[in-house]
Amino acid sequence: MLSKEQLNLEKIPQHIAIIMDGNGRWAKRQGKSRSAGHQAGVEAVRNIVKEASELGVKFLTLYTFSTENWNRPPEEVTALMNLLLDSIEEEIFMKNNVSFRAIGNLKQLPENVQKRLQQCIQRTSVNTGMCMVIALSYSSKWEITNAVKQILHGVTEGKISENDITPDIIENHLDTAFMPNPDLLIRTGGEIRLSNYLLWQCAYTELYFCETFWPDFNKEELYKAIDDYQKRERRYGKISEQI
């Protein structure tokens, strides 16, 4: 079993993004309801937040609820929103010196959820350790479309010219402008796709897919993903001799 001591702590990815997949299938195997799977998933979040923070990860971004998830049965969406409210525990963030942020079309969320998010963002803003980011009502297509609209508005007002539009300008108008692009993206649950998650930001991100369902993803599974990442050579289009 891989331990923390076997990792190179000087090469910990600064930004880890995770697609937390498999809650429903985990629950089905356990003979439980899908909501029980989501509840177990929240416990996994708590454990991974603590472990990632202790490892020295600077940003941890979790795909929590996509724009497509609004198409799920209404009772499941309601249960997920209520679970989200219960899971935003400031004590965990304060205890681990973790700040909290959210990205996505937050205006689409119920007002009580929006209010709770803003309270947690404000109260944890004093923390200086890892930043945990949740992607809520999020999709890359929505995010990029929204960035284009903002840029077009700037062009219309004369604040941005055609020659000003560069990849940096686009990145500055994305929801993730406040943090670096992910070094490592982990997807649990056995699926091998990005599912409309951080498509622009993951252009050179190292991808790691595992069969483990999210409720069973523990610190040892995190170590495996980081160990795999540390064995890779990140060339960004260059050849080995140029690195």
Q: How far apart are CA 40 and CA 73, in angstroms?
A: 20
Residues with active-site annotation = 21, 69
**Measured CA angle at 206 (ends 230, 166), to 5 deg:** 130
* pLDDT band at residue 3 under the 50/70/90 scheme: confident
Tokens, residue 187: 């997807």
pLDDT, one tens digit per residue, over 12-32 is 999 999 999 999 999 999 999
For residue 183, what are the CA distances in angstroms to 3, 57, 110, 195, 200? 21, 10, 32, 18, 13
> Could you state, in order of their start, the residue ranges of all structural domains in the chain?
14-139+180-231
Instruction: Examine the pLDDT at 237 and tell me if it is beyond 80.
Output: no
Could you tell me which CATH class the domain 14-139+180-231 is placed in? alpha beta
Give 83-142 pLDDT, tens digit per residue.
887 778 888 899 999 999 999 999 999 999 999 999 999 999 999 999 999 999 999 999
User: What does pTM read for this prediction?
Assistant: 0.93
For residues 228-238, give the mean pLDDT: 81
Residue 150: CA count within 13 A, CB half-sphere: 13
